[in-house]
């Protein structure tokens, strides 16, 4: 599979590229840490001094609406974002707060489609809360 440029990726998702939109999307694509809008702003404002938090929030909202990114509400205190829009699950480690991607072939994830009762789902999300392998190793070492 050929990797397309961020510019072309935005165009494919019907998002008009701008300096700010490109920077936010590139950040999401390069940092698989499931950042919050504030984290993205803090990392980009030095590169784009005219960037505002409102622009970051509006850009993320647009990216989610157009299917270019996903919004995660796994943590009740923070909304975070993910550039991986393919079906996959997430684990929130309740010990360290890290959000991990879990490949769809390793966990059962319901695919979007027709649901019982004739409903149609556009998107499916599966969130786990628990303890990551790193924290389990640290706890076992104590």
What confidence tens digit (pLDDT) does each residue in 16-42 have? 999 999 999 999 999 999 999 999 999
Statement: residue 133 has pLDDT above 60: yes
**What are the start and end residues of each CATH 3.30.1490 domain in the chain?**
86-142
pLDDT band for position 100 (50/70/90)? Answer: very high
Statement: residue 2 has pLDDT above 60: no
Q: Decide if domain 86-142 falls under CATH 1.25.40.
A: no
Q: Which top CATH class is 1-85? A: mainly alpha
Strands (E), the chain: 70-75, 78-82, 88-93, 99-103, 127-130
- Helix or strand or coil: residue 109? coil
């Amino acid at each position: 599979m050929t990797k397309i440029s961020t510019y072309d990726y935005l165009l494919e998702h019907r998002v008009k590229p701008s300096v700010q939109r490109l920077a936010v999307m590139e950040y999401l694509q390069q940092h698989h840490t499931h950042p919050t809008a504030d984290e993205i702003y803090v990392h980009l404002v030095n590169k784009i001094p005219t960037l505002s938090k409102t622009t970051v929030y509006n850009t993320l909202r647009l990216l989610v609406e157009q299917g270019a990114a996903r919004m995660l509400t796994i943590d009740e205190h923070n909304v975070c974002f993910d550039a991986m829009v393919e079906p996959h699950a997430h684990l929130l480690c309740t010990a360290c707060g890290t959000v991990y991607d879990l490949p769809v072939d390793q966990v059962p994830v319901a695919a979007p489609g027709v649901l019982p009762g004739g409903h149609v789902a556009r998107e499916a999300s599966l969130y786990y809360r628990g303890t990551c392998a790193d924290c389990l190793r640290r706890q076992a070492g104590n």
